[in-house]
Amino acid sequence: LLEHNPKINWQTYTLNLSRCPDTCQNQQGPISVQEEEHPAIIAVRAHGNKSIELAEKAVQGQKKKTLEEMVPREYWKYQRIFEKKASECFPIKHPWDNAIELKEGWKP
């Protein structure tokens, strides 16, 4: 909505995308909205399909980037923290770890 800045007439239930930027592929006239449906839901439905279509076209034929290509070099040293193997392990025990003592027979 911010990008397209539509004209909304709440009395006639119309949404007009007449102020879209030149780069927008959605150059259509007013969209009529039925009174029983919420205008925001219709706007999302009307625009969502085109958004998905444009996103699919944008990535079509592109090579998948490696982690090194996406993450700046200074953060590479933290890479192992986010690996699946690391996420399945408990953290290293330390002397300052506190025990959680449960009452016998208590169930949440």
- Rounded Cα gap, residues 70 and 43, in angstroms: 33
7 versus 26: the higher-pLDDT residue is 7
Is residue 24, in this structure, part of any structural domain at all? yes
98 versus 26: the higher-pLDDT residue is 98
Number of structural domains found in the chain: 1
Q: Report pLDDT digits (tens) over 34-76.
A: 666 566 665 655 556 777 788 888 888 888 888 888 889 999 8
Q: Report pLDDT digits (tens) over 80-99.
A: 877 778 778 788 888 888 88
Q: What local confidence, expressed as pLDDT, does residue 19 receive?
A: 75
32 versus 3: the higher-pLDDT residue is 3
Q: What local confidence, expressed as pLDDT, does residue 91 receive?
A: 80
Is residue 86, in this structure, part of any structural domain at all? no
Is residue 46, in this structure, part of any structural domain at all? yes
59 versus 25: the higher-pLDDT residue is 59
Whether 76 and 68 have beta carbons less than 8 Å apart is answered as yes
Q: What is the pTM of this model?
A: 0.29
Is residue 55, in this structure, part of any structural domain at all? yes
Q: What local confidence, expressed as pLDDT, does residue 74 receive?
A: 93
Question: 41, 46, 54, 11: which is closest to 29 by C-alpha?
Answer: 46
Is residue 45, in this structure, part of any structural domain at all? yes
Q: Which domain holds residue 12?
A: 7-59
Is residue 40, in this structure, part of any structural domain at all? yes
Is residue 76, in this structure, part of any structural domain at all? no
Q: Could you give the 3-state DSSP secondary structure of residue 15?
A: strand
